[in-house]
Amino acid sequence: MLKVENLVKVYPNGTQALKDVSFEVADGEFLAVIGLSGSGKSTLLRCINRLIEPTSGKITWNGIDVTDKNANLRMIRRQIGMVFQQFNLVKRSSVLTNVLTGRLGYVSSFQSLLGYFSPEDYKRAMSNLEQVGLSEKAHVRADSLSGGQQQRVGIARALMQEPKLILADEPVASLDPVLAHSILKYLEILNKEHGITVLCSLHFLDLVHRYATRAIALKDGKLVFEGLPHEIDDAQFKAIYGQEAERVSIT
């Protein structure tokens, strides 16, 4: 279980990205995080694996205090997979190498300096690539793939960590609608069949309705909604996105 209590993040330039955010996520949930650009979604996800250092508040995950200054960050991070809006692949490295980097949290510095990964890791990488349908592309350069394919590599990389939790930061915002569904379906399979908890920030409400089991909404760094996806009615919608907003859908 993931528990976020009174989380606050103030950036050095004074921006208050998160204001006293608290919520819980049970194991096996698919939690959608919604809100406008700049509402603090990315900051929230990055505080959970401390890519961004929270200013105050407490995050506990399966009984471990993530925010503890003495926490073993490497041990925590390697159990939490992450998928990014811009895929964040090393463009010049091969697809296989990119997938293998997901395993770095388990490999010693010296071995990985020499580029050594165990045969099991290779086998795991190939089977993960197979799972996202890209085993053919293992040895090509990452930047020769299309956007949708690159995001599937990103998912395979996260799977290498054998994660219990996946943080997905706008995983489909850079993709067209058809690809968006295909990527989210992979996340859904991981959630439903492998029991991996998913925290996913999304832009489009119909994607939230279709895939999420629960949703939270942020506005100006504050938690303004917590509940089931279908509970987001017009009034809620305007509270989250502002009075001017209109519903648009993705088909």
Partner 1 sequence: MFQSPNRIATILSLIIPGSGQFYLKKYWRGVVIFLTTAIITFAINWGLVDFKIGQVTIGSFQTSWLWLVLALFWIWNVRDAYMLAAGKTSGAVWGVLLIVLTLFVIAWNVTEAKPERLITRFPAAKVVMIELLNPDIITMDVNGEPTICDWACLAGHLNGTIQGDLRLSNNIGDIMGRITNKPAPNWEVQLGLAAQDGTVPTFQAGKMIETIAIGLLATLFSTLLAIPLSFLAAHNIMSRIPGGMVVYYVMRTFLNIVRAVDTVIWGLIIVVWVGLGPFAGVIALTIHSVAALGKLYSEEIEHIDFGPVEAVQASGANLVQVIRYAVIPQIIPPFLGYTLLRWDINMRASTILGFVAGGGIGFFVVETIQMGGYQQYAAALWVVAIVIILVDYISATWRQSILKDQPPVDVKIGRSISAILRKTLYIVIGVAIFLYCFNVTGINLKDMFAPAPTFLRLVRDFLSFDFSSDVVDLVTKQMFITIFQALLATAIGAIIAMPFSFLAARNLTGKSRFSIWIYYLTRFLFNVLRSIEALLYVAIFVFWVGIGPFAGTLALAITTFGLMGKLFSEAIENIESGPMEAVNSTGATRLQAIRYAIVPQIVPPFLSYLIYQWDINIRMATIIGFAGGGGIGLTLSTFFGQLSYHKAGTVVLYIVVVVALMDFASAKLREKLV
Under the rule (CB under 8 A), what is the footprint of partner 1?
A: 49, 51, 73-78, 80-82, 84, 86-94, 97, 101-107, 109, 112-113, 115, 139-141, 143-144, 154, 157-158, 160-161, 167
Smallest separation (angstroms) from partner 1 to the CB of 175: 16
Smallest separation (angstroms) from partner 1 to the CB of 92: 5
Smallest separation (angstroms) from partner 1 to the CB of 141: 4
Q: For partner 1, give the closer residue by CB, 22 or 72.
A: 72
- Label the pairing between strands 30-34 and 197-201: parallel
Q: For partner 1, give the closer residue by CB, 44 or 205.
A: 44
Smallest separation (angstroms) from partner 1 to the CB of 112: 5
Smallest separation (angstroms) from partner 1 to the CB of 117: 11
One-letter-per-residue 3-state SS of the chain = CEEEEEEEEECCCCCEEEEEEEEEECCCCEEEEECCCCCCHHHHHHHHCCCCCCCEEEEEECCEECCCCCCCHHHHHCCEEEECCCCCCCCCCEHHHHHHHHHHHHCCHHHHHCCCCCHHHHHHHHHHHHHCCCHHHCCCEHHHCCHHHHHHHHHHHHHCCCCCEEEEECCCCCCCHHHHHHHHHHHHHHHHHCCCEEEEECCCHHHHHHHCCEEEEEECCEEEEEECHHHCCHHHHHHHHCCCCCCCCCC
Q: Phi and psi of 33, rounded to 5°? A: -115, 115
Smallest separation (angstroms) from partner 1 to the CB of 81: 8
Residue 185 CA to residue 173 CA, distance in Å, equals 15
